[in-house]
Structure 1
Amino acid sequence: MAHGGYAVIDVETTGLWPGRHHRIIEIGIVHLDADGEVEATFETVVDPSRDLGPIHVHGLRSADVRGAPRFEHVVDDLCDRLRGRVVVAHNARFEAQFLAAEFERLGLESPLGPDGAGALCTMKLAPTYLPGAGRTLADCCAAIDVDLTDAHESLADATATARLLSAYLRMGDAQSSWWREWGRYAALQQWPTAETPRTPPHPRFAGGAGGADDGAHGPGRAAWRSRRRVARTPEFAPVPSAGAVLSASGAVPPAAPSAVPPAGPTGSAHLTGPVDLDLDRDVFGLTVEPAPAEPRFLERATELLPQLHLDRRQNQYAAMLDKALSDGYLSRDEADNLATLAVELDLDEPAREVLHDRYFASLVSTVWAHDVLSDDERRQVDAVAEMLGIAPHRRDAALVPSVLERAPRPADDDELDEFDVIEGLDESLGAVAETRAPTLARPDVGPLAPGARVALTGSLSQGRDVLVRSLERAGLVVWPAVTTETSLVVAADVACSSGKVRKALSYGVPVVDETQLPFVLARSRRSRTAA
C-alpha cells in the first residue's frame, strides 16, 4: 500500500476548551509527500458563530471573519484534504479535540478521536529526535534553525510543524518501517464524505460573529478564505539535506502494530496592563474577560521552557499550561479547563500541585536566564505563582535573581534541577546579581570522536555540500538539528543569534566559525593517530 503522505494541520480557536463553547476560527494545512517534501498548502478563516476570544493571541477580528464560511461549510473539503494522509500536529491532542467537537456538532465522527490518538504528534516525538528541546513548537523549531514567524496564525504554525516533521523524517530514516506503518494506518481511517448523513447546526450557530449568510456558502464545500495580512507566510522550504549519513543512531525503533496507531519512538488572577477587548458580544451571554494587549514576556518564557522529564499524562497537562499562560493571563474559564483536563488524565490534586511546583520552578529558571525583569514582569511572575497555587515563600524567593546565582553547583557541574534550586533556597534573598552573558566556545575545541554529530548553521561561504563532504571524510555525522547529543556546531558567524547557536549555548555545545573547522578536524585526526 503506497504511503499517502502527510497532512500537517494547525487550528486557531476562541479559547482552550471546546467543552465550553470554544470554536475553531482558522485552519491551516500543509501537504507533504512521504519523503517530507511540500505538495500544497491550504488555509481559511472560519466564522465561529460567537465572539472571537483572545484577539491579542490570534490577531483575528470581526472584520476578518465577516462573510467567512462556518465550519459546516468547509467540513467536506477539510475531510478530503485529510483523507488518506497521516494527520500531523504539534500537541495533536489540542487540534484533535476541537475537530472532534466540531464534527460532533454536525453528527459526524472524527477518526482522530478527541484525544488525538489517531494523529501523529511532533511534540511527543521531540524527546526522540530533539533530546533536550522543550515542548513548544518555537523551541523545537529553534533546534533545526527555523524561526517561527507569525506565530498563532494557522498556516504559519502548520508550516513550521511541517518543517519540523521533515527534519524528523531525515533523522528517522532508520525507522522507515515505522513511518510506513503510519501511512498504512492513515489509509484505513474513515473520514466522513459529502454523502455521510449529518445533523443541521443548532440555531444558536446561525449567524456568527461576522454575520455570515448561509446562502452565500454551499454546504460542506464553501471557498476557503485566507486571513487578511500585509506580509504573507513565507513559502515552505525543506530542511537542507545532509546527505546519506542522516541515520537515527541512538533513536529507539518503535513498535508499530497495524490495527492501532503506531506507538511512538521510544479563582482567577488577572495580570496588570492595557486591556484590548473584542467589541463583539458573546452570543451565549458569557463574560469576555480582558487580557493584556502585549503578552510577549510570558510567551517568550513559555516558548523556552526545558524538558521536565514528565510522563505522557503530565506532559499533556504541561502543554495546556503552556497555552494558557502564553498570553500572560489565566482566566477562570482556563483554570476550570485545566482542572477538567487533570481529571481526564487521572492526575489527582497532590500530583497536580507537584507538577505546578516543577513547572513554576522551570519557568523562573528560564526567566532569569534570559531577562532582567522589570517591575511589571515581576508582577506577572507573581501572578502566575498565585494562579498555580505556589506557596508564598517560594513565590517570594523566585522573584530574587540571586536565588539562582547563589545555587550551589554539584561537583561534576551538571545542571541543577530547577525545582531543587527553588526548593533549597527559600532563605537566599539578597542583592541583585550581575547578569552573565553566555560565551562562545574557544576555537581550539576538539578532538571529535568518530560518529560525533555536527550541525551546520548560516550561509556558509564554502558551501554546505563542501563542508558536509569534509565532515563525512572525517568520519563525523552531519545532523540537521542541535540536541544534547550534538558535539559541535559550525556557524557562518558565531555571533549570530540563529536557533541552532542559541540551542548550542544553552546545551553547552561548542560553536566554531567555519574557518576554524579545518583546525578542529586536524586535531581530531592527530588524536586518532596517536591512539
Structure 2
Amino acid sequence: MLRTDDALGYAVIDVETTGLRPSRHDRVIEVGIVHLDPAGAITGEWTTLVNPERDLGPQHIHGITAADVRHAPAFGEIAGSVANLLRGRIVSAHNLPFDLRFVTHEFGRLGMTTPLSDDHGVCTMSWAAHFLPDAPRTLPGCCAMADIPLNGHHDALIDARAAAELLRHYITRTGTVTPWHHLFTIASKASWGQISDTGAAWVRRGVSAERDSHFLSRILDRMPRVTQPAADSYLALLDQALIDHHISASEADALVELASDLGLQRADAERLHLDYLTALAQAALADGVVTDAERQELHLVTTLLGLPPEHADQALEQASKETHPAIARFTLEPGDLVVFTGEMDGDRQTWEARARQAGYVPHSNITKKVRLLIAADPDSLSGKARKARSYGIPIVTPDSFARMITQVGRTSPRSK
C-alpha cells in the first residue's frame, strides 16, 4: 500500500454542462479542479470555460454566456492539462458518476481513454450518508449541514471548492486513515497514456468584458480621418479621453492645453466636436441600422462634448443624408418563417404559439427561407445560430421578439 506521505493527494473536480446526458450530445462547458494533499489541505486550483461548439443549454442555471465561451478553448485544447491535473490523484466530486461520465465522454470524443472510474474515486454525495446522515444529497444541503459556505452555486470552481471543503470535513472526521486510503495506490498506478498538453490558456467567466472592447472604441477605429493636422491631433486625444465614456479633469486640462498649443479657438473646438459627433454617427450607420445602445452612446458623447442634447439626433440625420440613402428596415410579414433555439424562459411551445398568434410560422430548422432566429443567447454557438449567421438571418432574443410582435409595424432592431 502507498504510504500517505508519498501520495499526491486528491483532485476534486466539478463540471458545468449543456445538459444531463453526454450520450445525447450534451457537452462540458466549464471545468473546475481543486487539489488537496492527503491530509485535506488545499494546494491549488484551476478553472476554465470550455467551448462546446453548440448552444449552452440551461443558461438560467449555470449563468455562462456565449460571449464568454467564444473566447474559451475547446476540450481538445485542454485535455492534456486536465489529464495532468488528475494524474496520480484520487479523483473526487459531489455526484462523482455525473462528472466522470462527462469528462470520460469528452476524452472519448478525442479518441482517448482514461483510467477514471467511479469505484476508484471519492463521491462526497455518497459519503454524506456516513458523515452527514441528516443532510440532503445536494451540494448546498451538505455544505449547509457541515457549515461550509457556498456562494455562487453552479460555477465549476466555486462548486469544486465547496466539494473540496466537504471532502476535508470528511477526512478530519476519520482520524489517521480514511476508508478510501487504498485508492491512493490505485491512483498512483493508473495509466493515463500520452496526452499532449497544448498549453492553451484557460479562460474565466467575464472574459468578454475584459477582451471585447466597447463598441464605441471599435466605431472610433473606423472613423474617417480629418485632414487638418491640428484637427487630427485634437481628435486623437479626444478619442483617447472618450474610450471610458468619461472625460476626467486631467483629460479636460490636456484637451484645453492641446487646443491652446494648436492655436484652436473655442469656435474651432466646437466645430471639431460637431465633426467628431457626425463622424461617430456615420460609423454607427455603417451597417445600416442604429441600435438603441449606439443611440445611447451618441447622446452620452454629445453631453461629454458639451453640446446641446438635440445635436445627437441632428448628427444622425445629417450623417444619413450625407452618406446613406433611406435605410431599409427589417420587417416581418404574416406567413414568415421563424425559428427558436436555446432554452428560454417559458417552454418552446408557448413561444411558438405566440408566434402563430402574431401570424408567423414556427419552423424547426434554418433554411434560406427563414426570416428570423429567436435565440435565448444572441451570441449562441448552436448549429442553428451559426447557420443563420451564414445566411444573413437576423438573430434576436426572446424579449426582443416579444417587443416586435407587440409593436405596430413589427419592426426589428436589425436590418436586412
TM-score between both structures, scaled by the size of structure 2: 0.50
Look up the match of 2:30: 26
How many Å apart are 1:20 and its aligned residue? 0.7
Look up the match of 2:65: 61
Look up the match of 2:276: none
How many Å apart are 1:134 and its aligned residue? 1.0
Distance 1:166 1:229, change over 3 A: farther
Look up the match of 1:257: none
Alpha-carbon distance between aligned partners in 1 of 2:381 and 2:199, rounded to the nearest angstrom: 28
Distance 1:281 1:38, change over 3 A: closer
1:193 is aligned to 2:194: yes
Residues 48 and 203, structure 2, Cα contact 8 Å, conserved in 1: yes
1:181 is aligned to 2:182: yes
Which of 53, 78, 82 is the aligned partner of 1:74? 78
Q: 1:243-258 counterparts in 2 under 5 A? A: none
Alpha-carbon distance between aligned partners in 1 of 2:71 and 2:146, rounded to the nearest angstrom: 39
How many Å apart are 1:272 and its aligned residue? 5.4
How many Å apart are 1:10 and its aligned residue? 0.2
Alpha-carbon distance between aligned partners in 2 of 1:154 and 1:85, rounded to the nearest angstrom: 19
Alpha-carbon distance between aligned partners in 2 of 1:97 and 1:171, rounded to the nearest angstrom: 29
**Residue-by-residue CA offset, 1:186-218 (whole Å, 9 max, x unaligned):** 1122123336xxxxxxxxxxxxxxxxxxxxxxx
Name the amino acid aligned to 1:38: I
Look up the match of 2:50: 46
Percent identity between the aligned chains? 42
Look up the match of 1:96: 100
Look up the match of 2:206: 228
How many pairs are equivalent?
226
How many Å apart are 1:178 and its aligned residue? 3.1
Look up the match of 2:376: 277
Alpha-carbon distance between aligned partners in 2 of 1:285 and 1:99, rounded to the nearest angstrom: 26
Q: 1:484-499 counterparts in 2 under 5 A? A: none
Look up the match of 1:142: 144
How many Å apart are 1:132 and its aligned residue? 1.0
Alpha-carbon distance between aligned partners in 1 of 2:120 and 2:21, rounded to the nearest angstrom: 19
How many Å apart are 1:220 and its aligned residue? 3.6
Alpha-carbon distance between aligned partners in 2 of 1:121 and 1:229, rounded to the nearest angstrom: 31
How many Å apart are 1:151 and its aligned residue? 0.4
How many Å apart are 1:92 and its aligned residue? 0.4
Alpha-carbon distance between aligned partners in 2 of 1:84 and 1:70, rounded to the nearest angstrom: 24
Residues 10 and 154, structure 1, Cα contact 8 Å, conserved in 2: yes
Which of 7, 30, 36 is the aligned partner of 1:3? 7
Look up the match of 2:158: 156
Name the amino acid aligned to 2:9: G
Distance 1:69 1:127, change over 3 A: same
Alpha-carbon distance between aligned partners in 2 of 1:127 and 1:55, rounded to the nearest angstrom: 31
Distance 1:177 1:136, change over 3 A: closer
Residues 68 and 207, structure 2, Cα contact 8 Å, conserved in 1: no
Q: 1:366-381 counterparts in 2 under 5 A? A: none
Structure with the higher strand share, 1 or 2: 2
Alpha-carbon distance between aligned partners in 2 of 1:172 and 1:18, rounded to the nearest angstrom: 35
Residues 32 and 162, structure 1, Cα contact 8 Å, conserved in 2: yes
How many Å apart are 1:105 and its aligned residue? 0.7
Please state whether the residue corresponding to 1:180 is helix, strand or coil. Answer: coil
Distance 1:228 1:128, change over 3 A: same
Please state whether the residue corresponding to 1:44 is helix, strand or coil. Answer: strand
Distance 1:11 1:127, change over 3 A: same
TM-score between both structures, scaled by the size of structure 1: 0.40
How many Å apart are 1:221 and its aligned residue? 2.8
Residues 90 and 121, structure 2, Cα contact 8 Å, conserved in 1: yes
Runs of 4+ that moved beyond 6 A? 273-276
How many Å apart are 1:121 and its aligned residue? 0.4
Residues 71 and 203, structure 2, Cα contact 8 Å, conserved in 1: no
Distance 1:88 1:177, change over 3 A: closer
Residues 194 and 220, structure 1, Cα contact 8 Å, conserved in 2: no
Please state whether the residue corresponding to 2:181 is helix, strand or coil. Answer: helix
Look up the match of 1:363: none
Residues 76 and 192, structure 1, Cα contact 8 Å, conserved in 2: no
How many Å apart are 1:229 and its aligned residue? 7.9
Please state whether the residue corresponding to 2:7 is helix, strand or coil. Answer: coil
Look up the match of 1:168: 170
How many Å apart are 1:54 and its aligned residue? 0.9
Look up the match of 1:303: none
Residues 79 and 193, structure 1, Cα contact 8 Å, conserved in 2: no
Residues 75 and 221, structure 1, Cα contact 8 Å, conserved in 2: no
How many Å apart are 1:29 and its aligned residue? 0.6
Distance 1:168 1:177, change over 3 A: closer
Please state whether the residue corresponding to 2:120 is helix, strand or coil. Answer: coil
Look up the match of 1:132: 134
Distance 1:281 1:156, change over 3 A: closer
Segments of 5+ residues of structure 2 without an aligned counterpart are 209-343, 352-374, 387-397, 400-416
Name the amino acid aligned to 1:192: G
Alpha-carbon distance between aligned partners in 2 of 1:106 and 1:284, rounded to the nearest angstrom: 24
Please state whether the residue corresponding to 1:27 is helix, strand or coil. Answer: strand
Alpha-carbon distance between aligned partners in 1 of 2:56 and 2:132, rounded to the nearest angstrom: 35
Look up the match of 2:246: none
Name the amino acid aligned to 1:282: S
Residues 120 and 183, structure 2, Cα contact 8 Å, conserved in 1: no
Structure with the higher helix share, 1 or 2: 2
Alpha-carbon distance between aligned partners in 1 of 2:51 and 2:148, rounded to the nearest angstrom: 31
Rg larger for: 2
Alpha-carbon distance between aligned partners in 1 of 2:59 and 2:28, rounded to the nearest angstrom: 13
Please state whether the residue corresponding to 1:178 is helix, strand or coil. Answer: coil
Alpha-carbon distance between aligned partners in 2 of 1:162 and 1:49, rounded to the nearest angstrom: 30
How many Å apart are 1:271 and its aligned residue? 8.6
Alpha-carbon distance between aligned partners in 1 of 2:103 and 2:145, rounded to the nearest angstrom: 29
**Residue-by-residue CA offset, 1:411-462 (whole Å, 9 max, x unaligned):** xxxxxxxxxxxxxxxxxxxxxxxxxxxxxxxxxxxxxxxxxxxxxxxxxxxx
Please state whether the residue corresponding to 2:111 is helix, strand or coil. Answer: coil
Q: 1:354-373 counterparts in 2 under 5 A? A: none
Residues 3 and 180, structure 1, Cα contact 8 Å, conserved in 2: no
Q: 1:305-324 counterparts in 2 under 5 A? A: none
Residues 9 and 90, structure 2, Cα contact 8 Å, conserved in 1: yes
Residues 7 and 32, structure 1, Cα contact 8 Å, conserved in 2: yes
Distance 1:229 1:144, change over 3 A: farther
Alpha-carbon distance between aligned partners in 2 of 1:281 and 1:32, rounded to the nearest angstrom: 35
